Chains A and B, each alone.
Chain A
């Protein structure tokens, strides 16, 4: 088991060849570091003394060559060392993560995510840093140290002995300091962990924290840990730098002794000057490896403490006891015999439960809350380790099945299922894909095909949601080419249907018509533009746009309109502006109310408006949607002016030919196939043209190619479009677009019901012989609940065994058998009719419900 491997396992048993090669380089490096010393001696003693120029050049050349080589080797060793460390770190991380994910669920009930996260990320990171050099650094250090020491002893034995003699003294003091440091380090790790736990708790419970204004409470909770870390860090630094200081002190004793004794010897001619220089150099060089060894010692201690702390925490045997076997698919016969389960000696949750489930049989577990229904369901799903007694699946004890078998044969849906960040498709296929990964390629079950996916999506009531997501999505132009290619066809089909059924439902984007259901801004631009200068926020101050509306005599009209809108809004809702409800019929946004009020005040007092005010007024006019903002009226000549402005905009700024679009629109409205016009010269502009894909619009808007006239009709329109698409064979494309919807972290962009339905669909897609549902439909509305109920009853009975924990008793009538639990024991068993007949506990419960 990974957690029992000592730290040095990773050093000694991994990447041996690589390490050997590394050591070889290190040995070479040491040679090239000692070689220059010899050269120094020879330069002085031989070359300079004997005045031999040739020798001087030769020795100097060799000196510099050796220095460069030593440097290069050091560089290579450093890089390789870090590489090795990271490689081992990756291995430890992967292994530990696998291990953690297989730990008993019990472990996760008492562990905060923060602990796991900090262990996996920051604590292991320092260990990786250490492991890279775990072998190389001490070996290099000791070898270098020994070599230099030998060299020094070789130069002068007495002097060498004296100057080296100080080091052993240091070895007595350092470990004492380090031990104290380790203790503090351990405390630091524990404190950091507790702090991480608190943080992750506060973050995941942020709603509750906010709701209770708990930011102070949470800060208070964390304060002692922050203070604790602060004081620990202080004490640790005192020790750490204390160690450094001791080290430096001893270091300086060396030269002192050297000068004292060496100098004395040199004066008396017992020692050559060259030798003294070499000696000093050697002494200087000996300092580096020594320092490295000391640092290594500190790092080693730190890494050891961290490693032990991490591994200790997760040193739990994964649930499997090694006796598990994989048997493959089962029929799904479940038997429970005399099952007891308790969380501690005093709290027994289940007492002598016995039951059996034939393959394809449907069993309901009902009872008071706290009666142990969910516990039983979890035990059957092997999500809790089996207590006393036995659970058998197809005659074999449940605990002898390997995890893969359990996952394949038992599908479990809990009351509050987890949804992963990613697309709906990824979530739906989570179970199938995981199994496929475990099975290996050849044995893999076929992944559900499109029609199977569609069936399950429909049966679980997800189809509407997914189609809506699809309709509201922006098309990914690269991935959904089939949609793009057929867009015009879809538009046409939908339009023809609308012409038949609800002529007035949509205001189409007709290039030659003033549009009442879009803003004046959209009316003039009549297209998508990817240029921030023309965005709704900036356009009112854009000189090119301003000159365009001046030329089309729109400036004054728009200013007039903007002022009317502002005045009317202020007058109308001045007394009720604290309620956003009243802003539904005005282009003024609630937070802009005061600003526009100020402007209207200025106008009332006949004050000159500033340029900024005028911009705001123009902005308001451009936001005006005639059919929605009915507080202002629109003069007839206005529509014509807006159209003129539109044509000029398309021509001058969009650099497109409006005539092509007019022709295409006309053919579209007639139901003919237009030819595709040339793309706009301005690459950032796309006109609302029936043959164009509109980038900033959703799929539904793109297919409708217009604006729904009434908000409440969108639902109806969606159904019509879905129906038309189904008729034309585009359903799959729409569903695919919806399946690509990103659900957000923990699925928070989905409603509770949608999350639940996805979880049910995810379980059904596995097609396992046993399905366990723990109040899986409790948070669904009645219609969805009934739909799923009907599906399990009609399609799963006789095929998939079902154990369902159910709260609402009226839906248990379709089950083959009902077990009534109370205080951990089964008190009644029978069909709905039998139990009602019996007039026992179930009958009382059912009556209470009514």
Chain B
């Protein structure tokens, strides 16, 4: 496959005077995505399709990104701003992690639909890049052997996270219940 150098990216627009140079949203998405671990070793051309099909969304402080129990449809990459994950049990919510720019989460949604085990709310005005499972599947069917790699990365990332959580569990036996609810 012909791998394009990013410099030749035609989406970088130079107007006829050559004075101002703007980047298209596509190339900005590209810049955000290409360094994600899940895309390491993936041909440029395929990452660009992900960048092309990704959707940008702006949330205002307090907006909910998704809610516990809702069906998962997409993975999230924070471009700017901050979000908080929390669980909701018996009308009470327990704040968990805070995520910020460059954090990539909810990525298992790319592989399968499931109920979100926790909720996500933005803490300040936040821009998030959404990778939809539908797009992921479409691309997967076009380049199966490459996208299997992506799937592999996703599972590996997940396993690594799980190991970390196990560690936390072992260390804090008292808070077992609380964290157990997370999964």
Contacts and interface: CB of A to CB of B under 8 A. Distances in A.
Contacts of A556: 16
A564 B23 contact: no
Contact of A632 (B13, B49, B135): B13
A568 B12 contact: no
Most central of A504, A557, A572 by chain B CB within 10 Å: A572
Interface stretch (A60-68, A92-100, A482-490, A576-584): A576-584
A576 B11 CA distance: 19
Interface in A448-474: none
Contact of A567 (B10, B22, B53): B10
B15 interface: yes
Interface string B50-67: 001100001000000000
Most central of B25, B135, B138 by chain A CB within 10 Å: B25
A557 B16 contact: yes
B52 A633 contact: no
Interface string A555-581: 011001000100110011101100101
B177 interface: no
Interface in B1-53: 4, 10-13, 15-16, 20, 22-27, 29, 45, 48-49, 52-53
25 contacts: A557-B15, A567-B10, A568-B10, A568-B26, A571-B10, A572-B48, A572-B49, A572-B52, A573-B52, A576-B49, A579-B138, A581-B138, A582-B49, A585-B52, A631-B11, A631-B24, A631-B52, A633-B11, A633-B12, A633-B22, A633-B24, A633-B27, A634-B13, A637-B20, A638-B15
Contacts of A567: 10
B26 A573 contact: no
Contact of A635 (B20, B27, B29): B20
Contacts of A631: 11, 24, 26, 52
Contacts of A576: 49, 138-139, 142
Contacts of A638: 15
B129 to A, nearest CB: 12
B131 to A, nearest CB: 14
Contacts of B135: 581
A630 interface: yes
Interface of A: 504, 556-557, 560, 564, 567-568, 571-573, 575-576, 579, 581-582, 584-585, 630-638
Contacts of A579: 138, 142
A633 B16 contact: no
Interface of B: 4, 10-13, 15-16, 20, 22-27, 29, 45, 48-49, 52-53, 58, 134-135, 138-139, 142
A526 B13 CA distance: 26
Contacts of A634: 13, 22
Nearest to A600: B10
Contacts of B142: 575-576, 579
A571 B4 CA distance: 9
A595 B138 CA distance: 24
A634 B52 CA distance: 16
A568 B12 CA distance: 10
A584 B24 CA distance: 16
A560 B52 CA distance: 21
A332 B51 CA distance: 66
A630 B24 contact: yes
A582 B58 CA distance: 23
Nearest to B60: A504
Given A576-B139, A630-B24, A633-B22, 13 more contacts: A557-B15, A568-B10, A572-B26, A572-B48, A576-B49, A584-B53, A585-B52, A630-B29, A631-B24, A631-B52, A633-B13, A634-B13, A635-B13
A347 to B, nearest CB: 48
A338 B29 CA distance: 76
- Nearest 10 CB-CB pairs, A to B? A630-B25, A633-B24, A633-B13, A635-B15, A633-B22, A576-B142, A631-B26, A567-B10, A581-B138, A568-B10
A634 B22 CA distance: 7
Contacts of B24: 630-633
B20 A632 contact: no
Most central of A567, A576, A584 by chain B CB within 10 Å: A576
Nearest to B27: A633
Contacts of B53: 582, 584-585
Nearest to B20: A635
Contacts of A575: 45, 142
Nearest to B25: A630
Contacts of A568: 10-11, 26
Nearest to A504: B58
Contact of B15 (A582, A584, A637): A637
A459 to B, nearest CB: 29
Nearest to B26: A631
A549 B146 CA distance: 46
Contacts of B29: 630
A584 B23 CA distance: 20
A630 B135 CA distance: 16
Contacts of A633: 11-13, 22-25, 27
A584 B52 CA distance: 10
Contacts of B26: 568, 572, 630-631
B166 to A, nearest CB: 38
Nearest to A566: B10
A702 to B, nearest CB: 27
A209 B20 CA distance: 60
A576 B50 CA distance: 13
A520 to B, nearest CB: 14
A585 B135 CA distance: 12
A556 B10 CA distance: 17
A355 B103 CA distance: 68
A581 B138 CA distance: 8
A806 to B, nearest CB: 30
Nearest to B58: A504
Nearest to B139: A576
A632 B26 CA distance: 8
Contacts of A630: 24-26, 29, 52
Contacts of B15: 557, 560, 635, 637-638
A690 to B, nearest CB: 26
A572 B13 CA distance: 16
A630 to B, nearest CB: 4
Contacts of B27: 633
Given A579-B142, A631-B26, A632-B24, A564 B13 contact: yes
A575 B134 CA distance: 18
